[in-house]
Structure 1
Amino acid sequence: MKVTVHVDGGARGNPGPAAAAAVVRDAASGAVLDEATELLGETTNNVAEYRALLLGLARAAEVGADEVEVINDSELIARQVNGEYKVKHEAMKALHAAALQALAGFRAWSLRSVPRAQNAGADALVNQALDAA
């Protein structure tokens, strides 16, 4: 089964209170299969973006996906995972490695970044989680 996963992470203050969110949809019908948020405590926006990616991949695996298209609004994370940029920051190297390991569990995968407006569902979940905290 192929799914589309919209992920977003955000930190208010960067670093600041942070959250991650994921929306998993059936790629064929667009039906929402799962939504999830995770409060991350105090961290940076980039760490939150990676944690959102990991959350989305875990939820995609849980619904039985074997192919995943990940959409986020972080060009940096997309380019690092796709091998276009090197990961220089030490704190992000472990998250990058974990993301690659999680992606390897799928038969096929892709990751691309879009403008925030095209990732509104995941963005709204991040803000809801932070507002409720």
Structure 2
Amino acid sequence: MSARPPKSLKIYFDGGARPNPGPFEVAVVARGVVHFFDDLGEGSNGDAEWLALLKALEVAHALGVQAFDLLGDSRSIIAQATGTAPCRTQAEREQLTRFTTLAAAAAPRRIRWIPRAQNLAGIALAGRRR
């Protein structure tokens, strides 16, 4: 009888810039806890989504989980991070390098796109703005 693989923790991430470009806002949700990150600089929404993905990976590492999935609503960032789309700018290539380096310690089982309405981190960011 073989052991079952550990259940994978779902970690949601979202980032944005208000206005675009503007100050970054990032949220990560893991185990029902919302982590907000401020004072991360300024740039575009795409830059903010990359930061959100990196912060999600950092949260997973801080929690010490072995099996985790990263879920976000930015198709382009997820495609770049998974290698299904090229990083077209130097900034995107640098973010991918940062992600790959950080993931070397403990990589996500999957990085998956979900609709905005299902992204708990995006919902948390929207609620914070009200």
State the one-letter code of the partner of 1:78: I
The TM-score with structure 2 as length reference comes to: 0.83
- Counterpart contact for 2:11–2:28, Cα < 8 Å: yes
- Counterpart contact for 1:103–1:109, Cα < 8 Å: no
List gaps (5 residues or longer) in structure 1. Answer: 26-31
CA distance in 1, matches of 2:29, 2:126: 14
Paired residue for 1:10? 16
Q: Which runs of 4+ in 1 moved over 6 A?
A: none
Paired residue for 1:126? 125
State the one-letter code of the partner of 1:123: G
List gaps (5 residues or longer) in structure 2. Answer: 1-5
What is the aligned residue count?
123
**Structure 1 residue 125: deviation in Å?**
2.8
**Structure 1 residue 92: deviation in Å?**
1.9
CA distance in 2, matches of 1:126, 1:93: 26
Paired residue for 1:28? none
Tell whether 2:58 aligns with 1:58.
Answer: yes
CA distance in 1, matches of 2:25, 2:93: 19
Paired residue for 1:97? 97
The TM-score with structure 1 as length reference comes to: 0.82
CA distance in 2, matches of 1:45, 1:107: 24
**Structure 1 residue 104: deviation in Å?**
2.4
**Structure 1 residue 128: deviation in Å?**
5.0
CA distance in 2, matches of 1:127, 1:114: 16
Paired residue for 1:37? 36
**Identical counterparts, % of pairs:** 31
Moved more, 9-18 or 63-72: 9-18
**Which protein is richer in strand relative to its size?**
1
CA distance in 1, matches of 2:56, 2:95: 14
SS in 1 for 2:83: coil
State the one-letter code of the partner of 1:90: Q
CA distance in 2, matches of 1:14, 1:88: 19
CA distance in 2, matches of 1:107, 1:53: 12
- Counterpart contact for 2:70–2:108, Cα < 8 Å: no
